[in-house]
């Protein structure tokens, strides 16, 4: 049994090490990085594992908010959290591919998803800066009373808190960097020009924001309510 745990530990540490080794390449030269992506099924599995590591790190970085709001941090909670996060990444990637295809993109769905999975690494750092505002937003979600006004209440609560609103500045910078990387992604994978890449990336982010509002928040709200401890 100890040998099994040792192998799992080495495998996990190796994947986390690989994750952090790829980030400088993605940020410093995204076009070159996306050009080198393996478009085969094997490359897709590797990119999927990369996204799974990103989802795990995001779950870990969300722990302060979970603790503050008395969420039961049992293993099953983190497993569900990570799986949902990965599935959302895949959904966002497919949305990006679909928008690219609408605007006559030449790239396939597998390379697009793989490239998107790698670009997600930037959002791990965004999640770190988002901790103060995440705590405020989760306070609305753990009320377990989702309505059409929930999103507005979350925004008002964030901007009425000095620390939360300050963190949003760094979050905004992080999302701008992600936007630049996304432009390079669609430009490289789908052979777009600069202007079309910018336009398509903006449309993609808009569709993703809709999914965040109408899918991600309600799903995570239900998850938090399911594991909320009544103290």
Average pLDDT of the segment spanning 208-217: 92
Place of tokens 């770190």: 128
Reduced to 3 states, what is the DSSP secondary structure of residue 180? helix
| 8 A C-beta contact, residue 37 and residue 47 | yes
Residue % of the chain over a pLDDT of 70: 93
Identify the bridge partners of residue 228 per DSSP, sorted by sequence position: 71
Instruction: Locate all alpha helices (DSSP H) within 36-120, ordered by sequence.
Output: 41-61, 63-68, 75-102, 109-119
Q: Rounded to an integer, what distance in angstroms lies between the CA atom of residue 75 and that of residue 168?
A: 30
Confidence at residue 6, expressed as pLDDT on a 0 to 100 scale: 54
Place of tokens 């336009």: 199
Average pLDDT of the segment spanning 115-126: 93
How confident is the model over 139-159, as pLDDT tens digits? 888 888 877 777 788 888 888
Please list, residue by residue across 144-160, b when 16 or more beta carbons sit within 10 angstroms of its beta carbon and e when fewer do. eeeeeebbeebeebbee
Q: Which of 11-20, 25-34, 45-54, 164-173 has the lowest mean pLDDT?
A: 11-20
And the tokens for 20? 């952090």
């Amino acid at each position: 049994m100890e040998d099994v745990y040792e192998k799992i530990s080495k495998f996990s540490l190796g994947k986390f090490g690989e994750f952090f080794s790829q980030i400088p390449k993605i940020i410093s030269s995204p076009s070159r990085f996306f050009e080198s992506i393996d478009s085969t099924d094997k490359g897709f599995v590797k990119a999927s594992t990369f996204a799974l590591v990103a989802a795990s790190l995001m779950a870990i970085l969300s722990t302060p908010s979970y603790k503050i709001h008395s969420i039961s941090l049992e293993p099953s909670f983190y497993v569900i959290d990570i799986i949902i996060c990965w599935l959302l990444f895949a959904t966002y990637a497919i949305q990006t591919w679909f928008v690219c295809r609408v605007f006559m993109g030449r790239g396939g769905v597998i390379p697009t998803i793989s490239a998107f999975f790698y670009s997600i690494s930037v959002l791990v750092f965004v999640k770190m800066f988002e901790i103060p505002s995440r705590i405020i937003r989760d306070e609305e979600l753990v009320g377990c009373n989702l309505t059409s006004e929930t999103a507005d209440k979350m925004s008002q609560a964030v901007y009425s808190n000095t620390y939360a609103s300050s963190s949003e500045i760094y979050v905004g910078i992080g999302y701008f960097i992600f936007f630049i990387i996304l432009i390079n992604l669609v430009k490289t994978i789908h052979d777009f020009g600069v202007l079309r890449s910018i336009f398509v990336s903006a449309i993609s982010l808009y569709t993703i924001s809709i999914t965040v509002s109408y899918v991600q928040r309600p799903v995570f709200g239900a998850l938090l309510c399911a594991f909320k401890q009544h103290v």
